[in-house]
Amino acid sequence: MFVFGILSTFLPIVIIIFVIVYAAKNKEMGGEAVIRHLYTYLVLFATLMMVIGGGISIFMAAADLVSPPGYYQNFEDFKQVYHDGKVPTEESQKLSDDEIRERYDQMVKDEKNRARENAKNQIIKSLGFIVIPLPIFLYFNNMRKRQSEI
């Protein structure tokens, strides 16, 4: 969150400095051409950042898929809930430690499966941040190459 705050503060300043330096450097090119070049570079920058962000998000989701985060309630705490009667069933008083252990193991498995399903969902969502802006980036990169040849 701290990094996002820093980026949101300094990114507009960097972009403004880039625009001023580019405009000053290319005075002889003409106003319309400078604006066209700036627009091309800004689109390239934005789409590149989206593709990089999507790639990072896919990597993080793949890590969660391969090794899902652990379940943080230990067996003793889980067992205590059953013995204190916090589970609103009649059978909670009659469960043995082995039955409670089976329920705990099942809950841990369910939690890992839920984490894996969330990771798969995140991978699919993150692909959108690569698939959608990548053709736009390639198109504007070709446009930039054509502009520099002229």
Spatial distance between the Cα atoms of 149 and 138, rounded to a whole number of angstroms: 17
Place of tokens 């390239």: 44
Query: Which residues lie closer than 8 Å to 64 by C-beta, 6 or more apart?
Result: 115, 116, 118, 119, 122
- How high is the mean pLDDT of the chain? 81
| Distances in whole angstroms, Cα of residue 101 to Cα of each of 24, 40, 108, 109 | 72, 61, 10, 12
Spatial distance between the Cα atoms of 111 and 69, rounded to a whole number of angstroms: 9
Residue with the bigger pLDDT between 96 and 119: it is: 119
Spatial distance between the Cα atoms of 94 and 90, rounded to a whole number of angstroms: 8
What is the pTM (predicted TM-score) of this model?
0.67
**pLDDT at residue 56, rounded to an integer:** 93
135 pLDDT higher than 80: yes
Q: Are 100 and 79 in contact (CB under 8 A)?
A: yes
**pLDDT at residue 7, rounded to an integer:** 57
**pLDDT at residue 21, rounded to an integer:** 72
